[in-house]
Chains A and B, each alone.
Chain A
């Protein structure tokens, strides 16, 4: 239950983190909030030879309102994002999701970028990024690039981030203020990862759906965008949509896992129920 020995390096800025990671090579790990990495080290499920601590990198923390949405620095603490006025105003669904991330005591250290970079398939923040169409800013000594969240997650804990790249920030695009949003997760205990999770955003003008963003979490090897359902919704009139059929469409692209906590059948059944129920509530006023 004690970590294997490693070297510890402090990165005082994003650029320093990028340089240190570039020099350290594939045996290094970036330490952000440590709320996942520290247990993995303690259980010796991972044993990097070098740990690069980005906690001193203050330029990696903070939330800014850009013309296109919000830019959240990777080292922004989950607790800070949860109480951020920009998030409350422009990304309330992220705030809602953050309330389900870990616990009060882990959110004080845990970072938004850490969760995004880890790629836990049942985690909340990656699913919000996928549903909203966010992109992930990565930097290495070779340069900076942005990868859409929908292309970032490849498999459980496997992402498009190269070994020498540091997650610098997450860019969440603006959705109209009147967008209707659903965040729901089913978990055994508060703070646990979801057995089934749903993020849904609908931009409805009058009775027409202009744009939809839907993602499942805990329902596959990565967060899964329900693109077929999104396409079916886009341009449709609310009254013409059958929520039950739409739920099945939204589930057409998922292969829920089967484990000790829930069977695939359970996950699929619960997912269909919460989708249908939440979609009805979301659109009731429009249809009436």
Chain B
């Protein structure tokens, strides 16, 4: 079992720590850093609740080792808006469209949509829907999220 020093930028702040090799990025964020926005759902890459951005790309943080984030830029739902009383435009759309029920899967959905919203060329509504197939909502509250996609792609027209 090897121990490793890991250092990376999380939501604009430098953080570091010692990790066991087997520590996933998800567990490191939640248990060691106290950043509990990425949710631990299935912990084997199926549900998408733990989705974070690494170097701007939406990835499942349960399928990445913490040590692999060394030197990278990581973003979680905590970093989306300017402060606790502000909402990112996509979070605002979630609120307006009632795009969450219990909210457990929401951070994952948000991170994927933020990554899509930033990417060039900008994906169309069908591509966004396809990308959301990587997220499960056990409340089955998908319709609201699909309305968010409609609004997002409407704004771009």
Contacts and interface: CB of A to CB of B under 8 A. Distances in A.
B21 A7 contact: yes
A262 B65 CA distance: 35
Given A104-B134, A105-B51, A8 B67 contact: yes
Interface stretch (A33-41, A66-74, A244-252): A33-41
Contacts of A2: 22, 27
Interface residues of B, number: 29
A42 B62 CA distance: 9
Q: Which of A31, A34, A104, A191 has the most CB of B within 10 A?
A: A104
Nearest to A42: B44
A4 interface: yes
Contacts of A190: 130, 133
A105 B65 contact: no
Given A55-B68, A103-B131, A103-B134, A108 B57 contact: yes
Contacts, number: 87
A97 to B, nearest CB: 15
B20 interface: yes
Instruction: Name the prevailing secondary structure of the A interface residues.
Output: loop
Interface string A40-62: 01110000000101010000000
A106 interface: yes
A6 interface: yes
A36 to B, nearest CB: 9
A109 interface: yes
A260 interface: no
Contacts of A34: 63-65
Nearest to A35: B63
Interface residues of A, number: 30
A6 B130 contact: no
Contacts of A8: 2, 4, 21, 65, 67
B45 A38 contact: yes
A55 B72 CA distance: 13
Contacts of B131: 103-105
B59 A105 contact: yes
Given A5-B1, A5-B20, A5-B22, A189 B44 contact: no
A109 B133 contact: no
A51 B130 contact: no
A220 B122 CA distance: 39
Interface string B100-133: 0000000000001000100000000000001101
Interface in A1-31: 1-8, 31
A109 B22 contact: no
Given A5-B21, A191-B133, A106 B65 contact: no
Interface of B: 1-2, 4, 20-22, 24, 27, 43-45, 48, 51, 57-60, 62-65, 67-68, 112, 116, 130-131, 133-134
